[in-house]
Structure 1
Amino acid sequence: MSISIPKLVEKARGDLASLTGLELGSTLATVKDQKGWRVKVEMVEKKSLPDSMDILATYEVLMDDEGNVLEFRRAGMRKRIDTVSPEEE
């Protein structure tokens, strides 16, 4: 039985927080492909003063239809003040 997208995202965010120990940010994307569900979440890699200089990392987690983590990786990093991430350029 498949998990709903809101439950999948909630589980992905919780699992990423547990796996990385980082503070959660925004959910950027949720996509289904042939390998499973890919959820991209932005997380605070390093707090700074002022907050605009925080280092944010984009993490991608691959999950199966039941919401089990198959793999995860850091896909990129940027300063909070930068409105476009290097992956988008």
Structure 2
Amino acid sequence: MSAVGREDDGWCVVVDVLELPRIPDTTSLLASYEVRLDQDGELMEYRRVRRYRRGSADE
């Protein structure tokens, strides 16, 4: 989890996941997903907002 924010109808969470492991690790592909949860913590929606190579700097 890289970000959490409260919204009117629940929560918005950004989760970073390993999508494609490679050797060496620095070439693995990761992705950030924005996840929206209702006030009870139930999943409402999710979407991939970014895909990047491990070790790459933010632009």
The TM-score normalised by the length of structure 1 is 0.62
Q: Mark the runs of 5 or more structure 1 residues left unpaired by the alignment.
A: 1-26
Kindly indicate whether residue 22 of structure 2 is the aligned counterpart of residue 48 of structure 1.
Answer: yes
Deviating runs (4+, > 6 A) in structure 1?
A: none
Q: Which structure shows the higher strand fraction?
A: 2
Deviation of the 1:83 alpha carbon: 2.5
The TM-score normalised by the length of structure 2 is 0.91
Q: Mark the runs of 5 or more structure 2 residues left unpaired by the alignment.
A: none
**Counterpart in 1 of 2:8?**
34
Q: How many pairs align? A: 59
Deviation track 1:26-85 (CA, whole Å, cap 9, x = no partner) reads x1000012242001010011011100111000011100111000000111111002021x
Overall identity of the aligned pairs, in %: 34
Task: Report the Cα distance in structure 2 between the residues aligned to 1:83 and 1:49, rounded to whole angstroms.
Answer: 19
**Counterpart in 1 of 2:54?**
80
Task: Report the Cα distance in structure 1 between the residues aligned to 2:8 and 2:20, rounded to whole angstroms.
Answer: 33
CA RMSD of aligned residues (A): 1.0
